[in-house]
Structure 1
Amino acid sequence: MTAPPRELLLAALLADHGQAGPYDAFRRLREAHPALLTQSGVLVLSRYDDCAAALRDRRLGKVDESLGFGLTDIPEELQRQAMHRFRRTMLFRNPPDHQRLRRLVADVFTPHHVQDLRARIVLQIDRLLDGIADKPVADIIAELALPLPVNVIGDLLGVPAEARSAAAPLVRALVASLEPSANTADLTRACEAEDQLAQYFSELIAAKRADPSDDLLSRLAAARGDDTLDDDECVGTAILLFAAGFETTTNLIGNGVAALLSHPDQMALLRQRPDLAATAVDELLRYDAPVQTNGRTVLEATRLAGIDLRPGQVVLTLLGAANRDPDRFPNPDVLDITRTGTVPLSFGAGIHFCLGAPLARLEGIELFPRLVSRFPRLTLASEPIWRTGMSFRGLSSLKVVSR
């Protein structure tokens, strides 16, 4: 007997899924209610084609769709207070403001420009792998998956090296408020974290304005001087670029290594065929996506997945479910790094497609073959520890034996 729709939805969004992930719960929801309209008017989509269509539909946009999805009883005032600067960034804005904010930094993240960073990224990877080689047991998250993207985006932005490690946990506290399961304590911590990040980046941007360098924060500081950005937009964009520059990439690396360790045949194949790195990254992104959900708000009356929607309604796309849709990906629960034509929705789609996707992919393409080649006996030292929450799916610890 099929479980009631709300029970299936709560099992998918609020349960602690651990290593197995939410995919069995997603499958049950997709098979029973692929377009589920909740009592609060939220449309939850889990098929690939429906999710892709929603993310690309210009009649849908960004408003306050991330505020709980109607699944919690958190006071709305606290929900709105959390990340109020963050919400003034391109991530939560619609045209024309979205283009104005994105245009300021978009050229730095184009595939062509990102390729110019390859040599520096490889140097960082090799240095971090050297550190792992010196230890009998290493934590992939703390010693590789986190410091690599933090340092890459820190260099691009111009964030001093000594400040990066302190800012990273504040970002984690901030993005936790985007989880469907976020509670009052999570949002309170998010408010405190945003205030601390805002103070730091305000001071750093002021310093860049007085003494500019060849980095992104100096560009933002100059844009502020031309009234292109107001204060909150400038600081919020700095926080967004730093957060987005490592949060999803850390999860990509951690989830990817965990997947390869649990599929030794695929790890051996990548070791033998490093030319498969690009398809392997796409497959790892599909198999266990670093971001599992993406929301939109209806701006104009429209019809999606056979359901009429009015302005103000929220559409929640389950990216992880879409990436395991058998109508789009044959044998979707099988990890196959030779899979071709893979276009996962892990970075979203449409005008809000992740700006840093080319950079994240390049870091993965360079890292995974080097890791499995450098450490042919790589094995788990203990059970992986997964972070709570589902929207941002990742590990807090992944301890391995490298020799």
Structure 2
Amino acid sequence: MTTEATSTPQSADEALVTLLTPPYPDDPFPLYETLRAANPVHQSAALGAWALSGYDEVTEFLRRPDTHSGARAAALRRQDWADHPSLRLYLNSMVTLNQPDHARVRGLASGVFTPAKIKKMRPAVERLTRGLVDELVERSADGEAVDLVDLLAMPFPVAVISELLGLAYEDGKRLWELADDWSRVFAGIYPEDDLVRADTAAEELGGYFREKVRVRRADPKEDLLSSLVQAADGGRLDEDELIALILFLFTAGFAATTNLIASGVVALVEHPDELSRWREDKSITDPAVEELLRHTTHTTASSRLTTKPVRLGDAEIPEGSLVLALLAAANRDPAKFPDPHRLDLTRDDGAHLSLSAGAHYCFGGSLARMEGAELFPQLIDTFPKIELAGTPERRAILGLTGYATLPVRLSR
């Protein structure tokens, strides 16, 4: 465990560079501790940026209305950004927009992607959960290992958001693969191989959704996609913003849940007492889902650009500074969450930051919570024994965490 006596600005810089340089560490938390021990508001000489690793500092900063998207700034600094379909699409997405455009687009989405619409999805979520768990029973009956990402963590949320939007599930699976490739530009760092994959994905995604928009204009349905098209046609969005919003909602609809399922299962296997506790007492389901969200933190960081000097603690961050708000570090800050690395399914230490905070709070959060609360109880009741059957393969994308594969053995 790093202490203030052993952590210095230099060691904090080294930790930050390691966090941001491939291959990304499997266990980043000692590095977060090094950063926090040096200073929860760390000015990096190596990167020319600031890194926030304390819960209070990250929360306060994300709630400020006077910052701009750091990812947007990074993309626009590329002289060739307009030549890349992935960057053009990303710069029109809600997650990168600054005010007042962000409020305009989010306001339209909020009027369509409502809590009432999500609540109406519960019967579909229950049906899809039963079908996928039944398939797991069949596929694991001979004792063979199965890939929980391929058979559950990916298809479950993709099926839900596809049904909500009014897309065929067969289309949704392909879109998931494409959106995963497109997400390689989200971090603001663009290795050539990642950019090529993201551009190819963005071209296909844009073409697919433009055709769907054309069809819905001609023949509206009772689905979220038709509602978005009708709302946008009132003049509040241009065509590129509409396509980016639809794709963003699709991506937000599966990304958090895919990670919650896969990383949540790993966390439960590593904490068997907590897994048994949940099996015996389903009344803890809501706090258990929140704790899994805190413990796994899919989006590990959020970047912002200051538009005026910002004082946090004893530090003053100048105008025009790039600031990395390390959500995963904040979620393991012992000043906020005692014994932060322990999974405690009844933890009641306040709100985590896995879904961010402030104006850019994650749009898919309520859907992810409902899906997790439905799926985990069924999964752990159906399979009294869940164990890893190999080494899970992590997703190697900066700023995002999770698993590409998760081999498990399930026993009844």
Equivalent residue number for residue 31 of structure 2: 25
Q: CA deviation at 1:68?
A: 8.2
The equivalent position to 1:220 in structure 2, one of 215, 225, 228, is 228
* Larger displacement relative to structure 2 (378-387 or 233-242): 378-387
Q: Is the 8 A contact 1:301 1:310 kept in 2?
A: yes
* Larger displacement relative to structure 2 (241-250 or 74-83): 74-83
Equivalent residue number for residue 124 of structure 1: 128
Q: CA deviation at 1:312?
A: 2.6
1:194, 1:212 → 2: CA distance?
25
Equivalent residue number for residue 246 of structure 1: 254
Q: CA deviation at 1:109?
A: 4.2
Q: 1:109 to 1:261 in 2, by over 3 A?
A: farther
Q: Is the 8 A contact 1:292 1:393 kept in 2?
A: yes
Render the CA deviation track for 1:294-342: whole Å, top value 9, x for unaligned. Answer: 1111123332343333433221100000000000000001111111144
Counterpart secondary structure, 1:12: helix
Count, aligned residues: 398
Structure 1: runs of 5+ lacking an equivalent = none
Q: 1:209 to 1:156 in 2, by over 3 A?
A: same
Q: Is the 8 A contact 2:206 2:243 kept in 1?
A: yes
Q: CA deviation at 1:63?
A: 5.2
Counterpart secondary structure, 1:43: strand
Q: 1:182 to 1:269 in 2, by over 3 A?
A: farther
Q: 1:177 to 1:342 in 2, by over 3 A?
A: same
Q: Is the 8 A contact 1:173 1:189 kept in 2?
A: yes
Q: Is the 8 A contact 2:162 2:250 kept in 1?
A: yes
Does the alignment pair 1:255 with 2:263?
yes
Q: 1:325 to 1:337 in 2, by over 3 A?
A: same
Q: Is the 8 A contact 1:16 1:389 kept in 2?
A: no
* Larger displacement relative to structure 2 (307-316 or 348-357): 307-316
Q: CA deviation at 1:281?
A: 1.0
* CA RMSD, 1 decimal: 2.2
Does the alignment pair 1:77 with 2:85?
no
Q: 1:269 to 1:182 in 2, by over 3 A?
A: farther
Give matches, 1:275-314, under 5 Å.
Answer: 275-314=283-322
Q: Is the 8 A contact 2:75 2:81 kept in 1?
A: no
Counterpart secondary structure, 2:385: coil
2:165, 2:70 → 1: CA distance?
27
Give matches, 1:94-133, under 5 Å.
Answer: 94-133=98-137
Q: CA deviation at 1:187?
A: 1.7
Q: Percent identity?
A: 34
Counterpart secondary structure, 1:333: coil
Equivalent residue number for residue 6 of structure 1: 13
Equivalent residue number for residue 402 of structure 1: 410
The equivalent position to 1:91 in structure 2, one of 83, 90, 95, is 95
Counterpart secondary structure, 1:85: helix
Q: Is the 8 A contact 1:14 1:389 kept in 2?
A: no
Structure 2: which amino acid aligns with 1:332? P
Does the alignment pair 1:386 with 2:394?
yes
Q: Is the 8 A contact 2:75 2:87 kept in 1?
A: no
Q: CA deviation at 1:180?
A: 6.2
Counterpart secondary structure, 1:378: strand
Equivalent residue number for residue 201 of structure 1: 209
Q: 1:105 to 1:313 in 2, by over 3 A?
A: same
Render the CA deviation track for 1:184-227: whole Å, top value 9, x for unaligned. Answer: 21122212211111111111111111111112221222234322
Counterpart secondary structure, 2:261: helix
Higher RCO structure (Cα 8 Å, ≥6 apart): 1
Q: Is the 8 A contact 2:12 2:34 kept in 1?
A: no
Q: 1:309 to 1:76 in 2, by over 3 A?
A: farther
1:68, 1:13 → 2: CA distance?
17
* TM-score, normalised by the number of residues in structure 2: 0.91
Structure 1: which amino acid aligns with 2:130? D
Counterpart secondary structure, 2:302: strand
1:293, 1:383 → 2: CA distance?
25
Does the alignment pair 1:37 with 2:43?
yes
The equivalent position to 1:161 in structure 2, one of 155, 169, 186, is 169
Structure 2: which amino acid aligns with 1:317? A
2:136, 2:395 → 1: CA distance?
22
Structure 1: which amino acid aligns with 2:49? V
Render the CA deviation track for 1:130-189: whole Å, top value 9, x for unaligned. Answer: 000012322111111111111111111122222111111111111122236641211222
Q: Is the 8 A contact 1:109 1:356 kept in 2?
A: no
